[in-house]
Amino acid sequence: MSASADPIRYATVDAVLLALGKDPDPDPAAGGHSEELLDRIKKRVASATQTWINRTGRAFHPVRVGAVDEPRSWEVHDVQDARSWSPAKVIVDNPRPLPFDPTEGDTIEIRSGRNQWDDVTDEEGDAWSMDYRRRRLRVFERRLAITRRDDPNTSFVRLTYRYGPLGEEVQINADNVVTSVPPDVSEAIAAKAATQLALDDELRRSVDDDGQLTSSSSKRSALQESWEDTVADYTGFSTL
């Protein structure tokens, strides 16, 4: 795992430059790319990466739900969320939850009183269980202070956990780029970041026609289409 302070990204700066029709390794005598531009590219890639995760639910690195030290930010399920009772069953919000590991900060608490929550993270199989493939969480009633007849809006379980690739090796380089991301996803992220950058007037004027696209507008359209096509491949839904 990288110790870089940069946010996690699913595409490199070079990939975005190529998507914009720019040379990733320009002649130093010509001045090269400015640090300001490279920093903007990193920020756009980070934004596109988060957009990808939000749109598809497919994270290629462990992503945490909520802040470990702030229970108010955790995922919460109410009585009305239960698919069934005896035990209470809910579907966690994110696909591909990773096995709970207290050493990583994963925590699950169940309501044991009006304003009381008990940490039962170490009681998997006794107080709760998780079908990680179906993302189905079961909470056993004997530990709960509420029943199905309580106010439907009463929360009975809250948790912070990680989701992402299960049983797959995650490779992150020193620049915080996840290099184990599938190539089509990396290309889509680069295309999305390039589209956002190309909307900037100054950068748009500097994008050269590649000989196949008639204008910067058509270039942006092609980049956006590449992004949407890949999102559709992973979700089965496209906005195009």
Quote the pTM value.
Answer: 0.78
| Least confident window among 80-84, 102-106, 210-214, 226-230 | 210-214
Residue 211: predicted pLDDT? 40
- 176: pLDDT confidence band, cut at 50, 70 and 90? very high
Secondary structure (3-state) at 205: helix
Say what the pLDDT of residue 189 is: 97
Question: What's the average model confidence in pLDDT over 209-238?
Answer: 73
**Model pLDDT, residue 39:** 93
Q: Is the pLDDT of residue 61 over 60?
A: yes
**Separation between Cα atoms, residue 30 and residue 7, nearest integer Å:** 30
Q: What is the pLDDT of residue 240?
A: 46
Is the model more confident about 236 or about 62?
62
Mean pLDDT in the chain? 86
Which of 2, 7, 59 lies closest to 185, judged by CA?
Answer: 59
